[in-house]
Structure 1
């Protein structure tokens, strides 16, 4: 899966759409919660407010990631986007899920009197329309970037967290709206406000599951993930096509940003090559690889005898 450039307009379209939707929805939900005393509506308001902050953090992460390399960070600041994606996951878990479960427990222990739910239904309808629009935009953009990969495989292979973070946030938001609507209806249908509190706990559980998944994916990116397997295969094939290279020992890659890849190569050069010829070969290979794959930001090619190479990686 090809990642969108950090800060690219396609990724930003998804984030801005989600931010606009969540700000409007949060305001409407808090007003409805204040009027009706609904626990699940208050929970949904907190959820939308947290999501709004999350989109702001992703935009901030994109901005920070675009800084140029310097002496302190010679490979650039691209992974800062991964850091802020991890922070977003923690906020969803801590604020979104935590507050939701706490509010639900509080309203079960001390239920508030039921109020006319009409305004809640109106707000939920508006929220579903806005959130659904944001979700559809995120879904379309992610589908456009995943190529022939399956949805789950595309998420696992993606090196740009902005797309799948917003997609999963919006999916969780829609699920939460559905649960909130059912909880409000059931509480009034059966005359038991504790059901509304239970709905808040269910919403918190949904957010917790999504947050843990996003944290795991962001952690992998933050630690450093390999490039696409097709790209690794192309690098190896390019090197093996060179007559002066007798064997490619290994090709190791790591993403330093969604569109920046560092490549380390160990190859066995023909014994007949002089030092000058080997240097020329390395320069030519670096130029060829960067031309074919512009996402390669840095290449390190090490001449090394096949029997001396230690390949700890099952790939390459």
Structure 2
């Protein structure tokens, strides 16, 4: 039990915060829908429920993914977070379908709902809370990308640096971006229905919220399916290849792999060295390279093997210092 709590402390903090906030929001929206019958509020209740369930699952998955490798699972549990995210999108997909179905029913049979002040108050509170979570997730994205900026940067730069974020942080940011946009849509729909008697606006808003949720489902599914299979991190592969090629004792690189599993990277390198070196000297080379590579962001383990230099250049990169500095500046240790 102590080990479980220790792992949970290592879980993704933005997803835990988002799960708690969305649970509170879902309760508020559910109460508002119960008293008003507003279909846009119904869609928003489903949206917040789906987000809350997702984010709690992701928090647990991100914590379990940090479990140390065991003899039975020597490669570790890094892909657990991807598998959990794949399961979590099923919940969002179901909620998306229900939101679209209910919205379409309201468009075909528009009915007036009451509780104008209640709806606006709850949606206003929800939008503010969602923006807070979105800001926190954006700040975490910038931190994971090696960018330390305050102000509006987490909101303006969060989306552009999304690819550099961990799967859990990425999911939270995307879900809360859609949740904030959905809350604003529902807010506008309530105003249109009340002041202009456009009752179908609430149904249209519900359909649009459902479609946005489906967009998140598609993006999250594709990205985590690649992560569950194990994909190459091209940027880090080039970065680490230049680090290895820069070493004065490395004559060539036969093969290099950088596989991304969840939040972690597994590196495998086969380098060519001078065949006249002793085993002790080669072991020193291995220790030196392993220390440098393990200090790179996200690298969990490294396997380095050596072969004698065959005089045929396999690695087509460059050993020039300016290229190495360029990669190092992009990917902080």
TM bin, normalised by shorter chain, reads 0.7 to 0.9
- The answer to whether the 8 A contact 1:240-1:246 is kept is no
Q: Which runs of 5+ in 1 are unaligned?
A: 1-5, 312-316
- The answer to whether the 8 A contact 1:251-1:265 is kept is yes
Cα RMSD for the two superposed structures = 3.1
Q: Distance in 1 between matches of 2:220 and 2:280?
A: 48
**What's the CA shift for 1:209?**
1.5
2:291 equivalent to 1:288? yes
Closer, same or farther: CA 104–307 of 1 in aligned 2, 3 Å: farther
Closer, same or farther: CA 288–79 of 1 in aligned 2, 3 Å: same
Q: Please give the residue correspondences for 1:171-186 in structure 2 after superposition, counting only pairs within 5 Å.
A: 171-186=177-192
* Larger relative contact order, structure 1 or 2 (CA cutoff 8 Å, min sep 6): 1
Match of 1:297 in 2: 301
- The answer to whether the 8 A contact 2:274-2:309 is kept is no
Match of 2:273 in 1: 269
Closer, same or farther: CA 58–304 of 1 in aligned 2, 3 Å: farther
Q: Distance in 1 between matches of 2:129 and 2:159?
A: 25
Q: Deviations over 1:48-96 (max 9, x none)?
A: 011110111012202321222123311111110111122233332x123
2:102 equivalent to 1:103? yes
The farther-off stretch of 66-75 and 46-55 is: 66-75
Match of 1:113 in 2: 112
Aligned residues: 303
Q: Distance in 2 between matches of 1:165 and 1:279?
A: 43
- The answer to whether the 8 A contact 1:134-1:170 is kept is yes
Match of 1:256 in 2: 261
- The answer to whether the 8 A contact 1:266-1:302 is kept is yes
Corresponding residue to 2:216 among 210, 221, 233: 210
Q: Please give the residue correspondences for 1:1-316 in structure 2 after superposition, counting only pairs within 5 Å.
A: 11-12=12-13, 14-92=14-92, 94-147=93-146, 151-152=158-159, 154-158=161-165, 160-227=166-233, 229=235, 232-243=238-249, 245-258=250-263, 260-273=264-277, 276-277=279-280, 280=283, 283-285=286-288, 287-289=290-292, 292-293=295-296, 295-303=299-307
Closer, same or farther: CA 62–151 of 1 in aligned 2, 3 Å: closer
Q: Deviations over 1:269-299 (max 9, x none)?
A: 323346x357635643454345644834131
- The answer to whether the 8 A contact 1:61-1:81 is kept is yes
**SS across alignment from 2:133:** helix
**What's the CA shift for 1:226?**
3.2
The farther-off stretch of 232-241 and 112-121 is: 232-241
TM-score, structure 2 length as denominator? 0.79
The farther-off stretch of 145-154 and 174-183 is: 145-154
Q: Distance in 2 between matches of 1:130 and 1:305?
A: 60
Match of 1:3 in 2: none
Q: Which runs of 5+ in 2 are unaligned?
A: 1-6, 149-156, 316-333
Closer, same or farther: CA 310–290 of 1 in aligned 2, 3 Å: closer
Closer, same or farther: CA 73–307 of 1 in aligned 2, 3 Å: farther
Q: Distance in 1 between matches of 2:291 and 2:117?
A: 65
